[in-house]
């Protein structure tokens, strides 16, 4: 499925997968997909505010042990840099449907494999559908997250200070520019 994604959107999904694996989550859910988008920012959306990455991170449970490890004198980011060189390269990852269960989508990579939870899978499928004929972009992935009101992405963004009406207006405008 990654062949249907633009480079930036792939990077965002891989980042979300790494965050989910680090948090010990059994599946990649929409909240971490949103955090992956906020950190990678594979778009130039003016209304996706500059502080969104920090604000989104505050609202998503990543089970981050950095503070605890820092009290022991361990820099988790440094450990990751020395042990995970190249693991965030999207070419080392794949996103595939499982043959026996066609509704199951799994992210495979050098750090492990992770099924996409229902809401994250929906966002990916909407992004691919919106791309129809061209690689799905970060905007498409964001649209997929916002299209499903039950996944909590809109609430996280609103709580982070993002004006959703303006964001949707800007996303629609990016659609018009792409199709022109």
Q: How far apart are CA 29 and CA 20, in angstroms?
A: 8
Reported in sequence order, the residue ranges of the chain that DSSP labels E, i.e. its strands, are: 94-97, 105-109, 112-115
b/e burial code for range 19-35 (CB count within 10 A of at least 16 → b) = bbbbeebebbbbbbbbb
Kindly give, in sequence order, each residue whose CB lies less than 8 Å from that of residue 7, ignoring residues fewer than 6 positions away: 42, 90
Q: What is the pTM of this model?
A: 0.83
Which pLDDT does position 73 carry in this prediction?
76
Written as tens digits, the pLDDT of the chain (180 aa) is: 888 999 999 999 999 999 898 888 999 999 999 999 999 999 988 888 756 667 777 777 766 665 666 677 777 667 656 666 677 788 999 999 888 887 899 999 998 899 999 999 999 999 999 988 899 999 999 999 999 989 999 999 998 889 999 999 999 887 655 554
Which pLDDT does position 12 carry in this prediction?
95
Residue 109: phi and psi, rounded to 5, are -165, 180
Q: How far apart are CA 85 and CA 11, in angstroms?
A: 15
Which pLDDT does position 65 carry in this prediction?
63
Contact indicator for 156, 167 with CB cutoff of 8 Å: no
Q: How far apart are CA 42 and CA 48, in angstroms?
A: 11
Which pLDDT does position 1 carry in this prediction?
82
Contact indicator for 57, 150 with CB cutoff of 8 Å: no
Which pLDDT does position 59 carry in this prediction?
76
Say how many C-beta atoms besides its own lie within 10 A of residue 81's C-beta.
Answer: 10
- The strand order across the sheet containing 112-115 reads 94-97, 105-109, 112-115
């Amino acid at each position: 499925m990654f062949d249907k994604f633009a480079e930036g959107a792939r990077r965002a999904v891989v980042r979300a997968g790494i965050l989910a694996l680090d948090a010990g989550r059994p599946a990649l859910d929409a909240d971490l997909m949103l955090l992956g988008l906020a950190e990678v920012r594979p778009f130039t959306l003016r209304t996706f505010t500059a502080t969104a990455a920090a604000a989104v991170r505050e609202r998503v449970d990543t089970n981050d042990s950095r503070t605890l490890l820092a009290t022991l004198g361990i820099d988790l980011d440094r450990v990751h840099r020395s042990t995970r060189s190249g693991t965030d390269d999207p070419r080392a990852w794949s996103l595939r449907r499982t043959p026996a269960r066609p509704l199951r989508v799994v992210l495979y990579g050098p750090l492990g494999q992770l099924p996409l939870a229902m809401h994250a899978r929906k966002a990916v499928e909407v992004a691919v559908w919106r791309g129809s004929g061209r690689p799905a972009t970060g905007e498409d992935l964001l649209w997929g997250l916002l299209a499903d009101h039950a996944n909590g992405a809109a609430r996280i963004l609103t709580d982070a200070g993002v004006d959703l009406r303006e964001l949707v207006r800007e996303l629609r405008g990016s659609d018009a520019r792409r199709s022109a």
